[in-house]
Each structure stands twice: as structure tokens, then as C-alpha cells.
Structure 1
Amino acid sequence: MRVGIVCPYSFDAPGGVQFHVRDLAEALMARGHEVSVLAPADDDTPIPDYVTSAGKAVPVPYNGSVARLTFGPRTAARVRRWLAAGEFDVLHLHEPATPSLSMLALWLAQGPIVATFHSSVVRSRALQAAYPLVRQSLEKLSARIAVSEDARRTLTEHLGGDAVVIPNGVYVDAFEDAPTDPRWTGTPEAPTVAFLGRLDEPRKGLQILAQAVPTILERFPGARILVAGRGEQGREDAVAAVGPHASALEFLGGISDEEKAALLSSADVYVAPQTGGESFGIVLVEAMSAGSCVVASDLGAFRRVLDDGRAGVLFPVEDPQGLGRAVVAVLEDTDRRAALVAHAHEWVRQYDWSTVTGQVLAVYDMVLAARAAAGRVHEDPGALHDGRPGLWPRLVGDARREGGAR
């Protein structure tokens, strides 16, 4: 099967969606499928051979974070050429309601189209503004996937329709088998507590963790708080919040995938103090896979990933004292911590790519079977929709002219 995957967000600063796209592509290729990924990336950004760069992206504030996107007539021309060259059996778009590569591909493509929705928001002006652009185009989708019930709710409330829930995937064994690192391994007197995330994004909750540090140190004066992620301003703000206890914070900066696995395997506790905007919680699954005990904000998405608190400890959102008490409780009660880790070890298997890939392939098979049953002839995936007046934005016409001129 020839599969085209469109990632809306740039590989220059990869996050959850980019990692999901990368891992899905590699999981599909491991099963013998041909996969091509289209994503934004600067010329000097290293990308895998199966990724085609759609050009430089620009940062856009979105959902409490910063999304790096590319859009416009020139980008549309690149999308059109990629679609035409790929001749995909299935086109898989991620976040097609975001003004991005995925939205352009939805406008331009024909044939079986699957879309995955990742975002979870209570109310989104961005989605409301984008809806008129994609309302009719969404009817072209053969199937919709949401990575969680939270993402599914956002889809149904903002865009209508429904979706099957297929979670984000993790290579569980890679984290389970990761070696510990002596630099990050704790002791009963000096346990290690890990945090991973973009330090400059308030919703990742580093400030909540910083304010919890005195509560942790009161019981475990030797505790070390290991903070991985980029963001100089976030680092400075965290140090200021901790004050005289700043020496307990150890900033690791950006770390590689291998270092991340080693960190999660080494730490006694992994904390996820996010304040909102989370649709799943992939790093929680990674931490559970690595054998770290998870303490997380009681967000709906996190509660589901942690099996309602049976695979980790939940504390009230934006409650530093609650976070501190929760960390102290699991550090003090080694039997409870071991029980949580043991349950998490079994629970995370449902998120392994061996399971998730099979679920995605079942969706692909379903849309291909439905198309065959309808007796439709497979169309050129790069062909433009003939459209009705006003349906396609002017940039699609510009893309046609630019693409034909080259």
C-alpha cells in the first residue's frame, strides 16, 4: 500500500504530532508499506529520507503553544506536486482544520482520505474561524480518527461529525529496555524527580513544579529535580520561583530520544504538571513504559491515560502544594509506588505501536474496501477538485498556475 502522510507542524521544533507522524510512518514501513511524509522544515533541518520538506514555517500562537506552520500559494503548489508524484492509495492528513499543509492537501486531493485530529480545547476561536474554509472539504474525508476522547469531543463540538478513537503510539519496549543513567538515578535519601517539556510554555506547568519544590525538599532535602527541555525564559522564571532552593533544580536542556528514555528509566518519579490543552499525554505513556512512577495533573486526558489513577497519581490542576504532597507520598510509600509501576507496566501495552498500527491499518482497509464496493475508479491524488464557485480558495487556483509553470 502506498500511503501519503501530511504533518502540519514543522520538523524544526518537533513535538507530539511530529513524533506521532514519524513513528507511524516507520511502523507502516516496517510492515512493508510504502510511505511518504510531507512536512515543513528548514533547509538545514535534518529529516528522514521518507520526509519531503514543504519549506520554511512561521511560528503561530495556538492553544497555549506555538505552532510552526506553512501556508499559501507557493506551498499549495508544492503540495500538489507531492500528491501527483505519490499516487497514494491512502492519504492520511493530521489536523486538516488547521490552516496548514494538511488543509491545503484536503482542498487539493481526491481519493481515500483519512484524517487524524489531535487537539483538545474547550473553545477555539481558531477552529471557529477555520470552519468555513473546510466545512465542505471535510465531506471528502473517508474516515476520521481522534487520538483521545478529548480530541474527539473537540472535533464533534467545533467541526461536527464523529471519529473513531485510536490513541497515540509508543514503542513501549524501547523505553522498557532503556538503560538507567547514573547521573539521573536517585537514592532513598536523594530521589530524582523528572520533568520534560518546553520550558517557555506556561501550560506545561514548570512553574507549578517549581512552586512545589519546597514541599518536596521539606521531606526529602536531598531530592533532585531534573528538568529537560528548551526555553531560557522558562528556566529563569523557575529559578526565581524556587528562590533559595534553586540548587535542587538541574536543567538538562534539550535531550535526544535516547537520553529521554534513559532519564525516564532512571527517575524515581515523573511529574506532568500541565495546566490544560492536553488531548492525550504521550510522555506519560513513555514514563510508564520506562518504569517511572507518574504524578500528573488531574486533566481528563491524563486521567484516562493513567487508568483513573490506577497507573499513576493524580493531583488537582494548578495546585503546587497538591503536587508536592503527591510526590512525597509516593516517595515515602515504596510498596504503593511499586504497585502503581506494576499496573502501569501492563496498562501501557495497549499504546504500543504494534497495536496502534494495526488499528490504523484497519481504518485504511475499511476506506479502501468502501471505495471498491462503490465501484469508484481510483483518481489521480494530485488532481484538483473541479469545485463549485466559491468552494476553493483563490490560492488553490494560484497553486495550479504556479505548478503548471514549472
Structure 2
Amino acid sequence: MRVGLVCPYSFDAYGGVQLHVRDLAEELLHRGHHVSVLAPAEDSTPVPDYVVPSGRSVPIPYNGSIARLNFGPVVGARVRRWVEQGAFDLVHLHEPFIPSLSMLALWAADGPVVGTFHTAMERSRGLRAISPVVVPMLEKITGRIAVSAEARRTLVEHLGGDAVVVPNGVYVDKFADAGCDPRWTGTPERPTVAFLGRLDEQRKGLPILAAAVGEVLATVPGARFLVAGRGEATEERALLDRYGDSVTFLGGITDEEKARLFRSADVYVAPQTGGESFGIVLVEAMAGGALVVASDIPAFQAVLDSGSAGRLFRRGDPASLARTLVEALSHRGEAESVRRRARTTVQRYDWSSVTDQILGVYDMVLSTAHAPVREDPRSRTMYGRLRAATERPWA
């Protein structure tokens, strides 16, 4: 099968969606399929052979983060050329309502199309404003996937329609088999608590953790906090400096170091305040053997099976986080029982299972298709784009 994958976010700086697209592409290639990935990337950015760079991206604030997107007539021409030359049996778009490559590819493609929706949000004036334009275009999508119940809810409430839930994937064995790093390995006297996230992105929750550290150390004075991720976080660093070597900033870490961190730490803490549709990092930490302590946002509750595969605390509450961390570090027998349940839970997120589910959607879409993907002739003109965005010729 010839599959075209479209990622709206730049491969110049990896995030969850980019990693999902990359891993799915490699799993499909491993299974013998032909795969081409279209994604924003600078010409100088090293990308895998199967990635076709679409050019420079522009950083835009989105859903509490920064999304690097590209758009415009030049990019649109590249998208049409990729569709025309790809001879794809199916095109799989990620985040098709984001004004970037996936939306352009949706305009340009005519034929079997699958869309995966990753975003979760409580409300969005922007999405509501563009829904009269976007909803008719979404009729071109034959099969819809949401990575979580929260992402499905966002799709249904803001854009209508429905989607099958297929979670993000993780190579479980990669984390389970990673070696420990003695610098980060906890002991009964000096247990380690790891945090990983963009330090200057408020919704990742570093200020919540920083406010909880003092109370944890008052009860577990040997605890060590390992803070990994890029960003300045000047205020949090100043607040945590008072705790000396009890807090270590690791800076940005590689994928290999991340696996060793989760294999070494006693606890992984995820104090995010919202804007998460899934929580792939929780699954990675569980696969590595760390006990996960996470805020009780809906996406994290789902991943942790309402607390049976990890520990939940009240979102945005440092005191609740401190109490939960103290319990996790003090009751090691109970913590080990939770870890065992987590090791079973993560198997459902292994790429072997997730890819089977995605291929099931592909088979359903192809079973109703009458022709492979081709370029939609209406995409060549501005009038055609406007008509495609405002009429419902595919209903």
C-alpha cells in the first residue's frame, strides 16, 4: 500500500504529533508499505529519507503552546505536486483543521483520506469561528481517528461528526529495556523524582512542582528532583535554588536519555494544568518503570485508568501534589504494586497494537474507495479553494 502522511507541525522542533507521525511511518515501512511524509522543515534540517520538507515554518501561539506551521500559495503548490506525484492509495492527515499542510492537503487531494485529531481544549473561539469553513472540507475525510476521548470530544463539540479512538503509540520495549543511569537512580534514602517538559510553557506545570518541593523535602529530606527540558523558567529556577543539590536542572535531553531517566527515577511527575489530549509521556514513563504522579486532567485520568496505574492529584494544587508525592515516596510496597499494574496497562499503547488499529481504519476506508488519491482540480484556483471551503459537494 502507498500511504501519504501529512504532519502540520515542523520537523525542525519535535513535539508529540511529529513523533507520532515519525513512528507510524517507520512502523508502516517495517511492515512493507511505501510511505511518504510531507512536513514543514528547513532545507538544512536533517530528516529521514521518507520525509519531504515543505519549507520554512512560522511560530504561532496555539492552545497554550507554540505551533510551527507553514501555509500560503507556494506551499500549496508543493502540496499539490506531492499529491500528484505520490500515486497514493490513501492520504492520512494529522490535525486537518490546523491552518497548515494538512488543511492544504485536504484541499488538494481527492480520494481516500483519513484524518487524525490530536487536539483537546475546553473551548475555542477560533475553532468556532472557522467551523463554517472547515466543516464542509472535513466531509472529504472518509475515516476519522481521535487519539483520545478528549480529542474526540473536542472534534464533536467544535466541528461535529465523530471519530474512532485510537491512542498514540509507544515502543514499550525501548523504555522497558533501557539501562539505568547512576546519576539519576534513586535509593531508599535518596529517591528521585523526574519532571520533563518545556520549562517556560506554563501549562506543563513547572510552577506547580516548584511550589510543592519544599513540603516534600520537609517529610522526605533525601528526595532529589530532576528537572529536564528546554527553556529559561527564571522564576522557578530562583525559587528552587534554595534547595541546593536536592534539585538538578538537566536541560534538554535526547530520546535515549529520556528512556534512561524513566528507567532510573522512582517517580515521574506530570503537573500539567490542561491542554493535553493524551499524555504520551505518561505512557513512556510507565513503560520505563517509574511510578507516575499526574494532575487529574481528563486525559491523564484516562491513561492512568482513573488512578489504578498511577497516582492523581488535584490539578493546579501544589499542596495536593506534595501530599501525593510524599505518599508515593514513603509507601514503597504500594508504589511497586501500582508499577506492576502500569506495566500491564502500557501494552495497549505499544505500536504493534496501535498500528493494527490504524490499518483497520485504512482497510475500512479503502473498502469503500473507487479510485486512488489524485489531485483535486478545484485546488488549483483561488475560486476553487473558496468553493471547496464553503460548499458541500462531497456529501
TM range (shorter): over 0.9
- Residue 118 (structure 2) aligns with: 118
Where in structure 2 are the equivalents of 1:158-237 lying within 5 Å? 158-232=158-232, 234=233, 236-237=234-235
* CA offsets 1:4-34 (integer angstroms, 9 cap, x no match): 0000000111110000000110111111111
- The 8 Å contact of residues 93 and 102 in structure 1, kept in 2 or not, is answered as yes
Shift of 1:391: 5.8
Distance (Å, rounded) in 2 between the aligned partners of 1:216 and 1:263: 20
* CA offsets 1:229-269 (integer angstroms, 9 cap, x no match): 1001x2x2212233522542211111111100000000000
- Residue 378 (structure 1) aligns with: 372
- Residue 37 (structure 2) aligns with: 37
- Residue 25 (structure 1) aligns with: 25
- Residue 52 (structure 1) aligns with: 52
Which residue identity is paired with 1:227?
V
Which residue identity is paired with 1:384?
P
- The 8 Å contact of residues 378 and 384 in structure 2, kept in 1 or not, is answered as no
Question: Is residue 334 of structure 1 aligned with residue 356 of structure 2?
Answer: no
- The 8 Å contact of residues 122 and 154 in structure 1, kept in 2 or not, is answered as yes
Distance (Å, rounded) in 1 between the aligned partners of 2:385 and 2:379: 9
- The 8 Å contact of residues 88 and 372 in structure 2, kept in 1 or not, is answered as no
Distance (Å, rounded) in 1 between the aligned partners of 2:172 and 2:272: 23
- The 8 Å contact of residues 84 and 383 in structure 1, kept in 2 or not, is answered as no
**Of 313, 316, 326, the match for 1:315:** 313
- Residue 297 (structure 1) aligns with: 295
Where in structure 2 are the equivalents of 1:59-78 lying within 5 Å? 59-78=59-78
Structure 2 vs 1, CA of residues 366 and 239 (structure 1 numbering), >3 Å: closer, same or farther? same
Distance (Å, rounded) in 1 between the aligned partners of 2:261 and 2:188: 17
SS in 2 for 1:114: strand
Shift of 1:325: 1.0
Question: Is residue 92 of structure 1 aligned with residue 89 of structure 2?
Answer: no
Which residue identity is paired with 2:270?
A
SS in 2 for 1:183: coil
Structure 2 vs 1, CA of residues 168 and 36 (structure 1 numbering), >3 Å: closer, same or farther? same
Gaps of 5+ in 2: 390-395
SS in 2 for 1:184: coil
Distance (Å, rounded) in 2 between the aligned partners of 1:330 and 1:246: 22
- The 8 Å contact of residues 37 and 50 in structure 1, kept in 2 or not, is answered as yes
- Residue 270 (structure 2) aligns with: 272
Which residue identity is paired with 2:39?
A
The CA RMSD measured in Å over matched residues stands at 1.8
- Residue 393 (structure 2) aligns with: none
Shift of 1:131: 1.9
- Residue 239 (structure 1) aligns with: 237
Which residue identity is paired with 2:385?
W
SS in 2 for 1:97: coil
SS in 2 for 1:140: coil
Which residue identity is paired with 2:172?
V
- Residue 366 (structure 1) aligns with: 364
Question: Is residue 392 of structure 1 aligned with residue 385 of structure 2?
Answer: yes
How many pairs were matched up?
A: 389
Distance (Å, rounded) in 1 between the aligned partners of 2:379 and 2:296: 48
Gaps of 5+ in 1: 397-406
- Residue 392 (structure 2) aligns with: none
Question: Is residue 350 of structure 1 aligned with residue 353 of structure 2?
Answer: no
SS in 1 for 2:345: helix
- The 8 Å contact of residues 241 and 247 in structure 2, kept in 1 or not, is answered as no
4+ residue runs of structure 1 moved beyond 4 angstroms? Answer: 386-391
Structure 2 vs 1, CA of residues 394 and 378 (structure 1 numbering), >3 Å: closer, same or farther? closer
Shift of 1:393: 3.7
Distance (Å, rounded) in 2 between the aligned partners of 1:147 and 1:388: 34
Percentage of pairs with the same residue = 61
* CA offsets 1:332-387 (integer angstroms, 9 cap, x no match): 1011100000000001100000000000000000010112xxxx2335x2343379
Distance (Å, rounded) in 1 between the aligned partners of 2:113 and 2:245: 52
- Residue 400 (structure 1) aligns with: none
Distance (Å, rounded) in 2 between the aligned partners of 1:102 and 1:310: 37
Structure 2 vs 1, CA of residues 117 and 386 (structure 1 numbering), >3 Å: closer, same or farther? closer
* CA offsets 1:267-297 (integer angstroms, 9 cap, x no match): 0000000000011000000000000000000
- The 8 Å contact of residues 281 and 305 in structure 1, kept in 2 or not, is answered as yes
Shift of 1:187: 1.2
Shift of 1:217: 0.8
Distance (Å, rounded) in 2 between the aligned partners of 1:192 and 1:378: 53
**Of 310, 321, 324, the match for 2:322:** 324
